[in-house]
């Protein structure tokens, strides 16, 4: 009783969290765009 978690003790965890969120979002976006590009029919240019 009376022992609460100490906040803001490790600044590196904030940096890790931000890096994790950005890299996870980048990976998910690349995966989503890759699937869309893969499923689109190839366009043929008429010259």
Q: Where are the domains of the chain?
A: 11-44
Spatial distance between the Cα atoms of 13 and 20, rounded to a whole number of angstroms: 10
d(CA 21, CA 11): 16
pLDDT of residue 4: 85
Higher pLDDT, 8 or 38: 38
This prediction has a pTM of 0.64
Instruction: Say which DSSP state 9 is in.
Output: -
* pLDDT tens digits, 9-45: 888 999 999 999 999 999 999 999 999 999 988 776 6
Position with higher pLDDT, 17 vs 46: 17
């Amino acid at each position: 009783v009376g022992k609460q978690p100490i906040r803001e003790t490790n600044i590196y965890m904030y940096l890790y969290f931000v890096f994790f969120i950005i890299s996870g979002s980048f990976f998910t976006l690349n995966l989503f765009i890759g699937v869309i590009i893969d499923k689109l029919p190839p366009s043929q240019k008429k010259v």
